[in-house]
């Protein structure tokens, strides 16, 4: 194979020059080692940087889920406590349960309370449910009637009609305009009218252990900003995210944000915006936990999503926590640039020092080479 004409002179010089060969031997370790070391540094930093962020958001998601479970259990405990109270039992016996419910409903932080008979029909309600309305089809009510656990609560999705039957105010609270969101799946709806409710029911028994009534209650999560703000305060305390990053928490009904502290450009909460199609398919479609970078409304966040299931085991929403990735990415880039500059500076200094040191070897060898050439030339 013939070399291009332009490469012949430098190659001939290299092959015929002792100095060039010695220079190559001196500088080759630096010339080859520098890019190899930088490549390995970039690979290791990228790999472990990503693993570290994913591990952190995974831990954050576990903490958020534990708090969510405590909130659900708390609703069950409050409903169970009301069902076991002597005050309610006395009121039921005297036919005065209505005033008691009105008095204790707000104190127990429940959005609605119904007292049902042993067949699941309404006896009294803090809302507008008429006497005799059938609530027995709801799984928690059926469980309470059959003697299930008194403190059990589940997540349920109520239709707009079901919310309106309980209270028009609840239906209005749940209604939320859907906002066009980049990377989200197409959706023909303009509003989310369903409600995500923590729903519980507990049996009321007499002194002989016989079922005499059922207490049903619930908390609407749509627009429940205290819930996500508390999660954010627990998971992302001041100082837990260095470098100017910020933590966020969101509750989704389907793929729509119904409670969030993610902000739009104007500083308004991003209620009604939607998760990206990729995340929705992974979490809602496949039932898997997402621990990865994701596009959230208007920026990239290191994100953790996990599905929320109802009493039937159907995936009805998502719980999310995450933090802004940009400050971490900038810090990594700056660190790599500093390392690159340091390696480059060390390599240049090493090359200069090596050349200076090599001169003491070049001169005797070159004189020897010249002497041999003169002897060979006669």
Q: Looking at the predicted structure, is the pLDDT value of residue 120 above 60?
A: yes
Distance of alpha carbon 38 from alpha carbon 43, whole angstroms: 9
State what percent of residues in the chain have pLDDT above 90.
52
303 alpha carbon, distance to own chain's centre: 3
Helix H segments across 94-237? 97-105, 139-145, 160-166, 168-174, 225-235
CA dist list (Å): 220 to 71, 158, 181: 12, 9, 25
Segment 219-245 mean pLDDT: 89
Segment 117-135 mean pLDDT: 93
Who has greater pLDDT, 372 or 16? 372
Q: Looking at the predicted structure, is the pLDDT value of residue 150 above 70?
A: no
| Main-chain phi, psi angles of 85, to 5 degrees | -75, 140
355 pLDDT band, cuts 50/70/90, is: low
Segment 28-40 mean pLDDT: 67
CA dist list (Å): 191 to 161, 266, 283, 310, 317: 14, 21, 22, 22, 16
Q: Looking at the predicted structure, is the pLDDT value of residue 155 above 90?
A: yes
| pLDDT at residue 184 in the model | 93
| pLDDT at residue 199 in the model | 98
Q: Convert 296-328 to b/e letters by CB count within 10 Å (16 or more is b).
A: bbeeebbbbbbbbebbeeebbbbbbbbbbbeeb
Q: Looking at the predicted structure, is the pLDDT value of residue 8 above 80?
A: no
| pLDDT at residue 16 in the model | 52
Q: Looking at the predicted structure, is the pLDDT value of residue 125 above 80?
A: yes
Q: Looking at the predicted structure, is the pLDDT value of residue 237 above 80?
A: yes
Query: What pLDDT, in 10s, does the model give residues 269-323?
Result: 999 999 999 999 999 999 999 999 999 988 899 999 999 999 999 999 999 999 9
Q: What is residue 238's DSSP assignment?
A: T
Segment 58-77 mean pLDDT: 96
Residue 353: exposed, middle, or buried by beta-carbon count in 10 A (0-12, 13-18, 19+)? exposed
Q: Looking at the predicted structure, is the pLDDT value of residue 214 above 80?
A: yes
139 pLDDT band, cuts 50/70/90, is: very high
Segment 21-45 mean pLDDT: 66
Query: What pLDDT, in 10s, does the model give residues 90-106?
Result: 777 766 666 666 655 55
| pLDDT at residue 4 in the model | 57
Q: Convert 232-260 to b/e letters by CB count within 10 Å (16 or more is b).
A: beebbeeeebeeebebbbbbbbbbbbbbb
Q: Looking at the predicted structure, is the pLDDT value of residue 24 above 80?
A: no
Pair of tokens at residue 182 = 């980049």
Distance of alpha carbon 5 from alpha carbon 86, whole angstroms: 104
Distance of alpha carbon 297 from alpha carbon 272, whole angstroms: 11
DSSP for 201-220 reads: EEEEE-TTS-EEEEEEEEEE
1 alpha carbon, distance to own chain's centre: 59
| pLDDT at residue 92 in the model | 74
| pLDDT at residue 341 in the model | 80
| pLDDT at residue 365 in the model | 63
| Main-chain phi, psi angles of 217, to 5 degrees | -150, 165
Domains of the chain, start order: 16-46+330-376 (no CATH), 60-68+226-326 (3.30.450.20), 72-175+191-220 (3.30.450.20)
| pLDDT at residue 138 in the model | 95
| pLDDT at residue 225 in the model | 94
| pLDDT at residue 287 in the model | 97
| pLDDT at residue 50 in the model | 84
CA dist list (Å): 308 to 10, 60, 89, 315: 69, 16, 35, 6
Who has greater pLDDT, 267 or 356? 267
CA atoms within a 13 Å half-sphere pointing along the CA-CB vector of 171: 12
Average pLDDT along the chain: 84
Q: Looking at the predicted structure, is the pLDDT value of residue 168 above 70?
A: yes
Q: What is residue 94's DSSP assignment?
A: T
Pair of tokens at residue 251 = 């509750």
């Amino acid at each position: 194979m013939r070399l291009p004409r332009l490469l012949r002179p430098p190659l001939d010089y290299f092959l015929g020059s002792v100095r060039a060969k010695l220079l190559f031997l001196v500088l080759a370790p630096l010339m080859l080692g520098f890019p190899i070391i930088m490549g390995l540094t970039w690979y290791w930093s990228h790999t472990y940087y990503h693993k570290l962020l994913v591990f952190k958001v995974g831990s954050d998601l576990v903490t958020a889920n534990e708090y969510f479970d405590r909130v659900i259990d708390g609703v069950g405990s409050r409903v169970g406590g009301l069902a076991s109270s002597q005050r309610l039992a006395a009121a039921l016996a005297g036919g005065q349960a209505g005033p008691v419910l009105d008095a204790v409903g707000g104190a127990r932080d429940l959005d609605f309370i119904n007292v049902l008979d042993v067949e699941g029909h309404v006896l009294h309600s803090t809302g507008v449910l008429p006497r005799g309305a059938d609530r027995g089809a709801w799984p928690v009510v059926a469980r309470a009637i059959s003697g299930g656990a008194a403190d059990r609560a589940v997540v349920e999705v109520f239709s707009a009609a079901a919310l309106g039957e309980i209270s028009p105010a609840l239906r209005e609270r749940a209604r939320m305009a859907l906002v066009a969101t980049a990377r989200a799946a197409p959706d023909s709806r303009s509003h989310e009218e369903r409600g995500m409710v923590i729903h519980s029911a507990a049996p009321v028994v007499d002194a002989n252990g016989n079922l005499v009534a059922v207490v049903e209650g619930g908390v609407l999560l749509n627009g429940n900003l205290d819930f996500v703000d508390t999660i954010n305060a627990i998971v992302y305390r001041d100082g837990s995210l260095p470098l100017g990053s910020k933590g966020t928490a969101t509750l989704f009904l389907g793929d729509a944000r119904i409670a969030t502290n993610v902000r739009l450009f104007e500083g308004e909460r991003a209620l009604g915006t939607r998760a990206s199609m990729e995340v929705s398919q992974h979490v809602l479609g496949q039932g898997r936990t997402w621990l990865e970078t994701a596009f959230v409304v208007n920026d990239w966040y290191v994100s953790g999503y996990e599905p929320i299931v109802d009493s039937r085991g159907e995936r009805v929403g998502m719980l999310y926590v995450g933090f802004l990735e940009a400050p971490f990415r900038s810090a990594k880039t700056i660190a790599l640039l500093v390392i690159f500059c340091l390696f480059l500076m060390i390599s240049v200094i090493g090359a200069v020092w090596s050349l200076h040191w090599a001169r003491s070897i070049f001169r005797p060898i070159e004189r020897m080479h010249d002497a041999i050439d003169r002897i060979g030339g006669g």
